[in-house]
Structure 1
Amino acid sequence: MQQVVHDLEFHASDKNIVDKEMALLKNLIQAV
Structure 2
Amino acid sequence: MTHRFTTPAEQEIWIFSHLFRWLFFEETAAV
Normalised by the length of structure 1, the TM-score is 0.73
Quote the RMSD (CA, aligned, Å): 1.2
Aligned length: 26
Q: What stretches of structure 1 of length at least 5 have no aligned partner?
A: 27-32
Decide which structure has greater helix share. 1
Q: What stretches of structure 2 of length at least 5 have no aligned partner?
A: 1-5
Identify the residue that residue 17 of structure 1 maps to in structure 2. Answer: 22
Quick one: higher RCO (CA 8 Å, sep 6+), 1 or 2? 2
Report percent identity of matched pairs: 4
Pair member with larger Rg:
1
